C-alpha cells in the first residue's frame, strides 16, 4: 500500500460544535459530507515503548483507508505513515511494520492496548481542476484502554491508573496532500472563528493515554 507523510492540523471542539462552511475558503469547492464508522485497535509493548517514542501502530476497519497503519515522527512535526492491508489475523502485526519498530520494541511482543471507535464526517475540498486540496475530518471519538495498557499503567502508577472507563471527545483534523500554507491558515482561521481550539495532543491515542 502507499506510504506518505501526514500533514495535518488538529483542533479540539465541543460536542455541539457547528461545522463551518468550508466552501467559503478561497479557491476550493467543498463536497457533500460523507460519514464513516471506524474501529481502530492500537498495539504496543508492555511498558508502552512505542508511545514513549511518539510512534503509533493500529489496525483500522471501516472508511477509505482501512488496514494497518504505522505512524513515525517526521520533520516539521509531521508524521510518516506506512500502510499494510488487512489480513485474516486481527492480532498479528504485518512483518514490514513490525520490523520498522524492532529497534524500539527490543524484541518485546506487540499486543492490543486500546480501542477507538470513531464516527467520522469527511468533507473533501477540491480545486477547480478536480485535484484534492484538503480533507476535513470531523471525528466523534469513543476510546477505551484494553487490559494490557490498564495493567501496565496501574502497576507503574502512571497515567491511566485504574483505567477502563470509556473516554469520549470530538475533534477536527485538516489534512493536506502537500504543504499549502495559505489554505492551511485559512482553514485554521475559519475553524477558530467557529469556536475550535488547537489540539494539545498529537494523536487520539496520546489523548487517551494521558487522561
103: alpha, beta or left? (left if phi > 0; alpha if psi -120 to 50): alpha
pLDDT in tens, the chain (211 residues): 567 788 999 999 999 999 999 999 999 999 999 999 999 999 999 999 999 999 999 999 999 889 999 999 988 778 899 999 998 899 999 999 999 999 999 999 999 999 999 999 999 999 999 999 999 999 999 999 997 554 554 444 444 434 568 999 999 999 999 999 999 999 999 999 999 999 988 889 999 998 8
Rounded CA separation 10/196 (Å): 10
CB 210, CB 143: distance < 8 Å: no
Rounded CA separation 158/151 (Å): 10
Q: Which three cell numbers mark 202? A: 498529537
Distance of CA 60 to the CA centre of its chain: 10
CB 69, CB 60: distance < 8 Å: yes
Q: Which residue has the cell 463551518?
A: 20
CB 68, CB 88: distance < 8 Å: no
Amino acid at each position: 500500500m502507499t506510504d506518505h507523510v501526514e500533514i495535518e492540523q488538529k483542533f479540539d471542539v465541543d460536542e455541539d460544535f457547528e461545522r463551518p462552511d468550508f466552501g467559503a475558503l478561497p479557491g476550493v469547492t467543498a463536497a457533500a459530507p460523507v460519514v464513516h464508522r471506524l474501529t481502530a485497535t492500537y498495539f504496543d509493548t508492555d511498558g508502552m515503548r512505542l508511545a514513549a517514542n511518539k510512534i503509533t501502530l493500529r489496525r483500522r476497519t471501516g472508511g477509505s483507508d482501512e488496514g494497518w497503519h504505522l505512524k513515525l515522527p517526521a520533520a516539521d512535526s509531521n508524521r510518516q505513515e506506512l500502510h499494510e492491508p488487512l489480513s485474516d489475523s486481527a492480532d498479528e502485526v504485518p512483518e514490514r511494520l513490525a520490523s520498522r519498530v524492532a529497534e524500539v520494541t527490543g524484541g518485546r511482543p506487540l499486543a492490543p492496548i486500546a480501542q477507538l471507535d470513531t464516527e467520522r464526517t469527511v468533507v473533501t475540498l477540491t480545486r477547480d481542476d478536480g485535484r484534492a486540496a484538503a480533507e476535513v475530518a470531523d471525528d466523534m471519538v469513543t476510546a477505551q484502554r484494553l487490559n494490557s495498557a490498564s495493567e501496565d499503567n496501574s502497576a507503574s502508577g502512571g497515567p491511566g491508573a485504574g483505567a477502563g472507563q470509556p473516554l469520549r471527545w470530538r475533534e477536527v483534523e485538516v489534512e493536506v496532500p502537500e504543504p499549502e500554507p495559505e489554505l492551511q491558515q485559512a482553514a485554521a482561521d475559519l475553524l477558530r472563528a467557529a469556536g475550535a481550539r488547537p489540539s494539545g495532543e498529537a494523536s487520539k491515542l496520546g489523548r487517551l493515554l494521558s487522561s
